[in-house]
Amino acid sequence: MTFALPAKPADLAPRGSIACVGLGMTLGSHLSPLARSHIQSAEVVFAALSDATVERWLEHIHPNVRSLQPYYREWVEVMMAEVRAGKRVCAVFYGHPGIFAWSPHEVIKVARAEGFQAHMEPGISAEDCLYADLGIDPGRLGCQHYEASQLLFYETPINPCAYLVLWQVGLVGDRSMARFSTGPEYRQVLVDVLSRDYPLDHEITIYRGATLPVEQPRIRHVALRDLPATKVDSDETVVLRPAAALRANHAVRERLAALDRGMVSPD
Ligand SMILES: C[S@@+](CC[C@H](N)C(=O)[O-])C[C@H]1O[C@@H](n2cnc3c(N)ncnc32)[C@H](O)[C@@H]1O
């Protein structure tokens, strides 16, 4: 037998709430109807967007948009202050709010732990645009995504038979958490790590998806060895196509064939 818990009286539940929504990458065309409705029904809207033009566009949807940029290290506390004050808060992030973004996940965790309603509404990320613009299907050969510095800070096994997508290469190797870019020497360390799995003449793609409707995606190809001498901007993502062919797993294929024939598998 199951018992339903009595509903919490409405006047005991904290009133504030937060929705973290994604604006997508390209201004105007990627915003979902649900994300738009979260923005329009909010009392306070915070914004962490790709540029000032996008922020101004958002002001057409809601009159009270506050930029999170000046509070770089305190985003979670700034948002939670309004939630705790009982406000219906919407935080708008470019792309998908949950992809390579710490504070949307964190603020949702903190809000829920304090008993507030919190929700994440997905958006079209740089990852989605990259698949479309570069003609990559992650399901064909597999696709691994890493924050570039992770490959330097940790022993990270790479599968060269699959695509490799590296985020935040413009900042690779930064340990200070205080910089917005790092230089050629840092990209050289990345190349040295990647060269364990990829030949130095392996072609890599440096990709920037369009953020304004008038823009085209920017797609540059360079050899891996030339990455240190190639400036990578903070809004670019690096893609390595597979460097090795998939290898057949004969033992497992044989086991599956035995199942297909209605036989008992060897183990
Ligand atoms: C903090 S993450 C934010 C990602 C974002 N949440 C999303 O869903 O795309 C920043 C990284 O996203 C990637 N990025 C941002 N803007 C981009 C763009 N216009 N084109 C390609 N990659 C982009 C870069 O790798 C950049 O270093």
- Residue 18 is predicted with a pLDDT of 98
pLDDT > 70? residue 266:
no
What average pLDDT score do residues 1-14 get?
53
Ligand 1 geometric centre to CA of 247 (Å): 32
Task: For 87-138, write each residue's pLDDT tens digit.
Answer: 999 999 999 999 999 999 999 999 999 999 999 999 999 999 999 999 999 9
What average pLDDT score do residues 56-64 get?
93
Tell me which residue has its CA closest to atom 10 in ligand 1. 168
Q: Could you give the CA distance from residue 39 to residue 28 in angstroms, rounded to a whole number?
A: 14
Ligand 1 geometric centre to CA of 73 (Å): 19
- Inter-residue long-range contacts of 99-106, CB under 8 Å, 24+ positions, other chains counted: 99/125, 99/126, 99/127, 100/147, 100/167, 100/168, 103/48, 103/75, 103/76, 103/79, 104/20, 106/76
- Residue 264 is predicted with a pLDDT of 59
pLDDT > 60? residue 4:
no
Q: Both tokens of residue 114?
A: 């304090």
Tell me which residue has its CA closest to atom 5 in ligand 1. 95
Q: What percent of the chain has pLDDT over 90?
A: 87
pLDDT band at 51; cut points 50, 70, 90: confident
pLDDT > 60? residue 8:
no
Ligand 1 geometric centre to CA of 237 (Å): 7
Looking at the CA of residue 127, tell me the nearest atom of ligand 1: 9
Looking at the CA of residue 95, tell me the nearest atom of ligand 1: 8
pLDDT > 50? residue 14:
yes
Ligand 1 geometric centre to CA of 225 (Å): 23
Tell me which residue has its CA closest to atom 3 in ligand 1. 100
What lies within 8 Å, CB to CB, of 70 at 6+ separation is none
Tell me which residue has its CA closest to atom 16 in ligand 1. 235
pLDDT > 50? residue 3:
no
Ligand 1 geometric centre to CA of 111 (Å): 25
pLDDT > 60? residue 7:
no
> Which segments within the chain are labelled E, that is strand?
17-22, 44-48, 65-67, 88-93, 117-121, 143-147, 163-167, 203-208, 218-223, 237-240
Tell me which residue has its CA closest to atom 17 in ligand 1. 235
Tell me which residue has its CA closest to atom 19 in ligand 1. 209
* Exposure on the CB side of residue 248, measured as CA atoms within 13 A: 4
Nearest alpha carbon to residue 186 among 173, 196, 200: 173
Q: Hey, which of 232, 237, 238, 240 would you mutate to test ligand 1's pocket, going by the most ligand atoms within 8 Å of its Cβ? A: 237
Kindly report the pTM of this predicted structure.
0.92
What average pLDDT score do residues 206-210 get?
98
- Residue 12 is predicted with a pLDDT of 61
Amino acid identity at 253: R
Q: How far apart are the first and last CA of the chain?
A: 42
**Mean pLDDT, all residues of the chain:** 93
Q: How far is C-alpha 93 from the chain's CA centre?
A: 11
pLDDT > 70? residue 23:
yes
Pocket residues: Cβ below 6 A from ligand 1? 25, 93, 95-96, 99-101, 125-126, 167-168, 170, 207-209, 211, 234-237
Looking at the CA of residue 234, tell me the nearest atom of ligand 1: 27
Ligand 1 geometric centre to CA of 8 (Å): 41
pLDDT band at 2; cut points 50, 70, 90: very low
Phi, psi dihedral angles at 117 (to 5 degrees):
-75, 135
